[in-house]
A and B are shown apart, each in its own frame.
Chain A
């Protein structure tokens, strides 16, 4: 049974699109047919992060309006046969997201895909609400920082009350916390919120902790989901998170300050 997963946060710039790309690629690498949809109409980024910006012909809004069909809009990823990207319009805005059109598209996608990742825009308005409305699962991307935590709390509240599952009194959306841009050294110094602090405030299970990593910037610049970079701590942390999402046990890595060897001290962190 296909699962709709929304990647949301409330706060902007915390790593939703990076996470959507990494998660979708990670699930595809595990053999699941996955599509990742960009809901950020007018400010589309998913195509850039996925490296397919030069192959966009038709988009999500075209399909919702019936100007094109799914097959014309879906872009197959060159690195993995299981991975597909559904870009959105750059020229329109979020008013173009009609709920019944979105529902129709999702129902059609459910016929052929195992996982449908919805990359939500920031905020709590129409775009974000539409992205979370049909979700079965949610990944709340949060930075260990006070404003991000506050906004995540808000979006969790909205998910619990305004999703379709909530409106229909069905089993609630499965909500997970993903802590991104975590810097264990700064946490140890008391400059940054620790995992337990965030957990105490948000009271939702932690899916994973992604360390702050320069590889993320490299990944977006090259249009390669960071999970393909097997050397990078962020990439490895995403792989762990995907495994946990699929029900496996993984120990939390990259959450303690690195013990610096002499050479590391000399040459800085990797």
Chain B
């Protein structure tokens, strides 16, 4: 099999609108840009965009453009969006014809792919005083008691199938929809997305009962399960 003599490749090339060459401030601006990053611009290839620039039609003009850009260390290599006559003229000036490209508006960085759903973190042993557990990016489920002085933190929801006697901080990264569930409310502090209530502020009639804590209208509300 004969291997290909010519291979395809992709290049990023600067595009200069032909009209800018006639703008008196263009050279001044260009000089300033190059001064800032000379190496970037040295011998950099440039394509002249002829869209709406019917007056560029003769080979001499293209050659002059090339000279001009050469003064700023830029290398004019081709044109795009030209009419057939313009392309012929450019070709005579030894410039290539590039396929038209849509203008690329500066793009916002691609959104980070939504993190893959993490399984909830499960803790089956009593959470002792002084222990801190952080369920990053997910829910936290505890199937034993949580001692006073222990801290449960989760970006998602917190479920305690036991007595919650320590602190529970759900929605730790700001998720206001996170909730706290427990079989026995005796918590020292509960918090969702940064709003919190200490033990003293919890409704007395809910102490010791199975409850659900949610953020409603920016206030922590406790409802019996």
Contacts and interface: CB of A to CB of B under 8 A. Distances in A.
A157 B145 contact: no
B106 interface: no
Contacts of B128: 153-154, 156-157, 160
Contacts of A158: 130
Interface SS of chain B: loop
A203 interface: yes
Interface string A134-167: 0000000000000000110110111011000000
Q: Which of B128, B148, B149, B150 has the most CB of A within 10 A?
A: B128
Contacts of B150: 157
Nearest to B147: A153
Interface string B146-167: 0111100000000000000000
Contacts of A161: 131
Interface string B170-212: 0000000000000000000000000000000000000000000
Report the interface size class on chain B. Answer: 10 to 19
Contacts of B149: 150, 153-154
A9 B209 CA distance: 31
Contact of A150 (B126, B131, B144, B148): B148
B129 A153 contact: yes
B37 interface: no
B125 interface: yes
Q: Which of A151, A153, A160, A201 has the most CB of B within 10 A?
A: A153
Interface in A155-194: 156-158, 160-161
B185 to A, nearest CB: 16
Contact of A157 (B129, B144, B148): B129
Contacts of B130: 124, 153-154, 157-158
A150 B125 contact: no
Q: Which of B147, B149, B150 has the most CB of A within 10 A?
A: B147
A203 B129 contact: no
A160 B123 CA distance: 14
A201 B147 contact: yes
Interface string A112-126: 000000000000100
Interface string B90-120: 0000000000000000000000000000000
B126 A203 contact: yes
A161 B123 CA distance: 14
Nearest to A151: B129
B145 A203 contact: yes
Contacts of A203: 126, 144-145
A158 B129 CA distance: 9
Contacts of A201: 145, 147
Nearest to B148: A150
Interface string B130-149: 11000000000000110111
Contacts of B145: 201, 203
A201 B126 CA distance: 10
A161 B128 CA distance: 11
A160 B147 contact: no
Given A150-B148, A150-B149, A160 B125 contact: yes
Contacts of B125: 160
A223 to B, nearest CB: 35
A151 B125 CA distance: 18
A203 B144 CA distance: 10
A95 B148 CA distance: 31
A153 B149 CA distance: 9
A150 B147 CA distance: 8
B160 to A, nearest CB: 14
Contacts of A150: 129, 147-149
Contacts of A124: 130
Contacts of A151: 129
A218 to B, nearest CB: 34
Q: Which of B126, B129, B144 has the most CB of A within 10 A?
A: B129
Interface of A: 124, 150-151, 153-154, 156-158, 160-161, 201, 203
21 contacts: A124-B130, A151-B129, A153-B128, A153-B130, A153-B147, A153-B149, A154-B128, A154-B129, A154-B130, A154-B149, A156-B128, A157-B128, A157-B130, A157-B147, A158-B130, A160-B125, A160-B128, A161-B131, A201-B145, A201-B147, A203-B126
Ranked 3 nearest A-B pairs via Cβ: A157-B128, A153-B129, A154-B129
Given A124-B130, A153-B149, A157-B128, 14 more contacts: A150-B129, A153-B128, A153-B129, A153-B148, A156-B128, A157-B130, A157-B131, A157-B147, A157-B150, A160-B125, A160-B128, A161-B131, A201-B145, A203-B145
